[in-house]
Amino acid sequence: MVQSHSFSEPERPAVTIQSRPLAAILLLVGGSALLLLSAALSIAVGAADISLATVWESLVHFNPDLTSHQVIHQLRIPRVIAGALTGAAFATAGALMQGMTRNPIADSGLLGINAGSGLLLAICFAFFPGMSFVHLLFFSFIGAALAAGIVFGAGSMVKGGLTPVRLVLAGAAVSALMLAISEAIAIHYNVGQELAFWYAGGMQGVQWAQVKIITPWILGSIVVAILMSRSITLLSLGEDIATGLGQRTGLVKAIGALLILILAGASVSIVGAVGFVGLIIPHVARYLVGVDYRWILPCSAVLGSLLVVLADIGARMFNPFAETPLGALIAILGVPFFLYLAMNERREL
């Protein structure tokens, strides 16, 4: 069987753990500061522009009678929190996947998460039109979990254990299946465009209720991911090495898969299939701070947040009334950079 991780080229030396802690700390501090700044900007910018002073005012002296304060509290703040959270979640999930599967092109769509969520959404749009947003969210999450469950389940039933390549292959198969069924439903019941709108990604309708549901899950998962980051680094060196060093690789992979499911499932259910964050941010992080996942994971989280918050600002500035799909915008920002990385590819996984 052809293997996916036999990528190494002859001129490249063997992978060693090279990390740049100083760069990582700088990135974490600077990135967080930038994130706060962008969050403030994100609250201020939109169909109705609000000055930063008013933003501050509404935070410290909230006055429910002022429309601007209402807009800030009911629309802008949940939106920016959702952006930051989902960005961090997508990026962390992507980093986990890339580390665990040793596959540089792994992203959140790979475990069938996007496709599973899309299938249940297609069913909802076709059979229960006019369903409330919170319910859609719930079903989208169920679909993501279902798909990831099948992928992981099928992967575990493999004789000889769950290997990275098999996990990825199972993901591709389940994705294709779910996508095909949802396409069939979408075409037959004529709900394709509705589905496309959801999929395109955006945070126009984000409400506090949704933010409250996802926040503990996402934050908790990121913390657990960072706690187990050393094990991820070992896994990224190869299963044999990890096992040789006494790691219980099965357990690490099971926890990792669960974290990916929660992180990506929750995010897809809120902002749609914004896949590029999970693909590109871990590459950027690895490029900047080296190959130690103890640094890659937190840096990915911060960079992912930053990217989504900035892109969301862009989506509103670009065309305030018919917002550009977030996924498309992130791709426009991300593609050139990813291309740059790809073209100067040095194996640093």
Partner 1 sequence: MSTSMVSSVEAARRKRAFTIMTLLFVLIVIVFIISMDTGQLKLTPHEVLRTLIGKGDAKQELILFQFRLPRMVMSLLIGAAFAVSGCILQGVTRNALAEPGILGINAGAGLVVVLFISVVPVSGTIYLLPLLALAGAGGTAALIFSLAYRRNQGISTIRMLLVGIAVAAGISAAMLVLTLRLNPEQFKFVQVWLAGSILGTDWRFVLALVPWLVVLLPLVFFKARVLDVMNLGDLTASGLGTSLNRERLIMYASAVGLAGAAVAVGGAIGFVGLIGPHLARRLVGPQHPYLLPASALAGALLLIISDTFARLYNIPTGIVVAVLGAPYFLYLLMRTKGSSS
Q: From residue 294, how far is each of 18, 47, 241, 284 by CA, in Å? A: 12, 40, 18, 15
Between CA 14 and CA 83 the distance in angstroms is: 38
Shortest spacing between CB 314 and partner 1, in angstroms: 13
Give bridge partners of residue 157 from the DSSP assignment.
none
CB contact at 8 A, 296 and 286:
yes
Token output for 24: 């990582």
Give the nearest distance from C-beta 342 to partner 1 in angstroms. 3
Site for partner 1 in 160-179 (CB under 8 A): 160-166, 168-170, 172-174, 176-177, 179
Single residue of 190, 205, 212, 320 touching partner 1 by CB under 8 A? 190
Please give the structure tokens belonging to residue 41. 């900007």
Q: Which of 181, 213, 254, 258 binds partner 1 (CB under 8 A)?
A: 181
Considering the complex, state which of residue 37 and residue 317 has its C-beta at the smaller distance from partner 1.
Answer: 317
- Gap between the Cα atoms of 182 and 192, Å rounded: 9
What residues numbered 194-233 form the site for partner 1, per CB under 8 A? Answer: 196-197, 199-200
Hey, which residues between 11 and 70 contact partner 1 (CB under 8 A)? 11
* Cβ 241 vs Cβ 257: under 8 Å: no
User: What DSSP element (H or E) covers 222?
Assistant: helix 208-227
Q: Go through the chain and tell me how many residues it has.
A: 349
What's the CA gap between 91 and 337, in Å, rounded? 16
Using the rule CB under 8 A, which residue among 65, 67, 157, 246 binds partner 1?
157
Binding piece for partner 1, criterion CB under 8 A, among 139-147, 155-163, 208-216, 286-294: 155-163
Long-range contacts of 4-13 (CB under 8 A, 24+ apart): 4/103, 4/164, 4/165, 4/168, 5/102, 5/103, 5/164, 5/165, 7/104, 7/347, 8/347, 9/347, 12/346, 12/347
Q: Which is nearer to partner 1, 43 or 203 (CB)?
A: 203
Site track for partner 1 across 237-266, x = CB under 8 A:
--x---------------------------
Site for partner 1 in 314-333 (CB under 8 A): 324-325, 327-332
- 126 sits near partner 1 (criterion: CB under 8 A): no
> Which residues in the 91-120 window bind partner 1 by CB under 8 A?
104-105
In the list 276, 290, 295, 310, the residue contacting partner 1 (rule: CB under 8 A) is 276
Cα-based angle 186, 188, 190 (whole degrees, multiple of 5): 55
Does the protein bind partner 1 through residue 188 (CB under 8 A)? yes
**Which residues of the chain form contacts with partner 1 (CB under 8 A)?**
1-7, 9-11, 104-105, 154-155, 157-166, 168-170, 172-174, 176-177, 179-181, 183-184, 186-188, 190, 192-193, 196-197, 199-200, 239, 275-276, 279, 324-325, 327-332, 334-335, 338-339, 341-343, 345, 347
